[in-house]
Amino acid sequence: MSEVKIVKVKAVDDGMRLNRWFLKYYPDLPMSRLQKLLRTKQIKVEGKRAEVSTKLVEGQEVRIPPITVTDIEERYRPISPKDTDFMQRLVIYKDDNILILNKPSGIAVQGGRGITKHIDGLLDALMYELDERPKLVHRIDKETSGLLVLARNRKFAEILTKAFREHTIQKTYLALVYGQPKKAEGQINAPIDKVGDKNAVTTEGKTAITDYKIVDNVGNKFSLIEANPVTGRTHQIRVHLEHLGTPIVGDDKYYGETRQNYENFARKLHLHAYKIDLSSIYGKKKIIEAELPEYFMESLDAVGINFKGI
């Protein structure tokens, strides 16, 4: 683009986060560049400063500044054979329309301040026989491991983005936590809002709902929890399990009143996106599972939990 554009939000995009809107309509713009344009107030919604998390409303006007070749060149830097091999080893499912990765803990999905290596910047390694690079349609935390779905074409990018936004795709996470919930299974319905540098349960927060179930436990010392987020708030499962009094092992941000001892565990977040149900997309049963990382399995073994799947 060579000039400023004013774009009206369509009805189909009502309620969409600004970062996902840009991912949909400007897929070649790196997240790091988007964040800089927002920080410098070059992107505005209804004439006001916007943030990555800004929720769009039908009819609103989004100011789009000129976007140059320099803005997108980061995305097209050559990928080394080592990084290509790394990315292709993460693939656990592939068809004509979708790729699914088993993302390791510690690598971010998108770029940002201080992040030089991320999944989004390495997607050219997953083009395979196609001329089109895969597209991100959702994200998981840098510290969280597990399933990450990519669309291999624009049509499925729109289908999957809509499905994730409307929560018609069910995701199941596994978390190793300290303690044991009072109920073996239940629903955590606790609003979440930003408080300081992290999220927290507050009475004025946005609706946040997580279904959970104990898969196994070691008395009241440790539990393996199956968590199904009904809504999609940032850090939702981490915040909700802390709120329940059972913080996740390895969580340095949401750990309750006392930071726990890591002596027997890897210093990594023990939260894994384990299973995803894509049946609503395929029109038939389609469930994909991602193996737990080695450190997670070692921790389960250390506390005496024998996990064989759910």
One of 13, 71, 120, 141 is an active-site residue; which one? 141
| Residue appearing with tokens 């004013």 | 6
What is the rounded CA–CA span in Å between residue 307 and residue 301?
9
Concerning whether 141 is annotated as a catalytic residue, the answer is: yes
CA distance 127 to 79: 12
C-alpha span between 35 and 49 (Å, rounded): 12
Residue 18 in tokens:
């600004």
Residue pair 136/126 in contact by the 8 Å Cβ criterion:
no
Tell me the torsion sign for CA atoms 127, 130, 132, 137.
negative
Alpha-helix residue ranges (DSSP H) falling in 107-194: 154-165
DSSP class per residue in 60-97: -EEEE----HHHHGGGGSPPPHHHHHHHHHHEEEE-SS
**Residues carrying an active site annotation:** 141
